[in-house]
Each structure stands twice: as structure tokens, then as C-alpha cells.
Homo-oligomer: A and B are copies of this chain.
Amino acid sequence: MIRNDSVKPRRTRMSRADRERQMLDVAEEVFAERGYGAVSMEEIAELVGLSKPMLYEYFGSKEGLLLGVIRRARGELREVTERAVEVGGTPEEMLRRGYIAYFRFGEAHHRAWLVLLQEPVLVRSAAEEIEGIRRQQSEMMVGLLAAHLPDRPRRALEAYAESVIGACERMALWRARNPEVTPEEAADHLMDLTWTGLATLNSSGGSA
């Protein structure tokens, strides 16, 4: 049988792990670029250079694929922020370093970032999965706050943690619209709000 590689190019077979990473890369890019709903599985498969059923073998469903993308990105983010916080120092320094790490991650992985911030709540079945990761994020934050505010009830600390995370996410989105703002600057603004507080901000210096 004659092979015509120019029409049907030789598909290089890959190991499970490599293929999976490649699929996630493609999905991440295209979800971020055009949105989950606007991209078909067929199209993703074509971009990867495979046929659709392969995606389903690896991820089970379209939701599963999105979930894979989100999980990977969240994992990397968690690693980065935790490392930044675990250096130690005063609570203020830790908080600030955490903020900076968070925004730097957004800069470096900015495609993954968009997916992470914009798509997660979509998937109903993924809600629990996401919830777990969030709880980790929140736990870390609560731990940090507990060291600094030992007298506060845990409920209050949870509320602070949740609010801080929300502020971070929104700030990251704002930064995406204002790319000239550096991670350090963004962190300064957040420190002004969450650390110094609006009350004392008009008398003290704060960020420029």
C-alpha cells in the first residue's frame, strides 16, 4: 500500500503522559482565547492532531477536559503562592509576598489564568472539585491570618480569607485590562486596602 504522508501526515504516537499534557495545552489556549462554549471537541482534536474519541478516552467529557485544565492551573498557582508565603517573616511581609506571587503567576501563565478566572464556576459536576481546591486556598489564608489575629473567631477569619481571595481575583482581572500595572504595584494597592485599611489610608502614605 502506498502511503501519502502529505495528505494524511504520519501521526506521531505519544505516551499517555505526553499526550495528556499536549491536550491540556491546546485546550487551555483555545478555551482562554474563545471561551468554553465556542469551541467544539472536534476542533480541539484537530488542533492536537488526533480524532475526537482520543479526547474522550483521556478526559471522559468536555467538562472533564475543562476540569483538567483548571486543576492543573490551580495546582501550579497553589504551589507558587505557598512557596512565597512559607518563606516566613512578619504577617505583613508574608501577605505582600503572597500577593506578588499571585500576580506574577498571572503574568507568566496568562492563558491558563484566564481560563482559571473565567470558566471555573460553569461546570456543575466540577463544583465539588473546585470547592476542594478553594478550601485549600482559604485554609492557607486562614492560617496566615490566625497567626496575626489569634483572638478573632475562626468564622471571622474565614470571612476575611474569602474576601481577600475575591479581591485578588477581581484585581487580577483589572490588571488584565491595565497591563502596565506591575505585580508589585497591584500588590501595593491590595495591601493598602486589606492591610492598612481605608480608614487610616488618608492620613498615612500608602502607595503612590
Residues of chain A having any CB pair with chain B under 8 Å: 34-38, 91-92, 95, 117-124, 127, 145, 148-153, 155-156, 158-160, 162-171, 173-174, 178, 181, 186, 189-190, 192-202, 206-208
Known: A122-B122, A124-B37, A208-B153. A194 touches B197 (CB 8 A): yes
Given A159-B174, A197-B198, 20 additional A-B pairs, CB 8 A: A34-B124, A37-B122, A38-B124, A95-B198, A149-B201, A155-B178, A159-B181, A159-B193, A160-B189, A162-B174, A163-B167, A163-B168, A163-B170, A163-B189, A163-B193, A164-B193, A166-B170, A197-B199, A197-B200, A199-B200
Complex-state Cα separation, A193 to B166, whole angstroms: 12
Known: A124-B37, A166-B171, A169-B166. A149 touches B202 (CB 8 A): yes
**A interface majority secondary structure:** helix
Pick the contact of A199 from B92, B166, B181 — CB < 8 Å? B92
Pick the contact of A119 from B122, B149, B174, B206 — CB < 8 Å? B122
Q: Is the CB of B199 within 8 A of A196?
A: yes
- Top 5 nearest A-B pairs by Cβ distance? A197-B197, A166-B170, A159-B189, A163-B167, A162-B174
Complex-state Cα separation, A166 to B118, whole angstroms: 13
Complex-state Cα separation, A202 to B121, whole angstroms: 34
Q: Is the CB of A163 within 8 A of B171?
A: yes
A-B contacts, 27 listed (Cβ < 8 Å): A36-B122, A37-B124, A38-B124, A117-B121, A118-B121, A118-B127, A119-B122, A120-B121, A121-B121, A148-B198, A149-B198, A156-B192, A162-B171, A162-B173, A162-B174, A163-B190, A164-B193, A166-B166, A166-B167, A166-B168, A166-B169, A166-B170, A193-B194, A193-B197, A194-B194, A196-B199, A197-B197
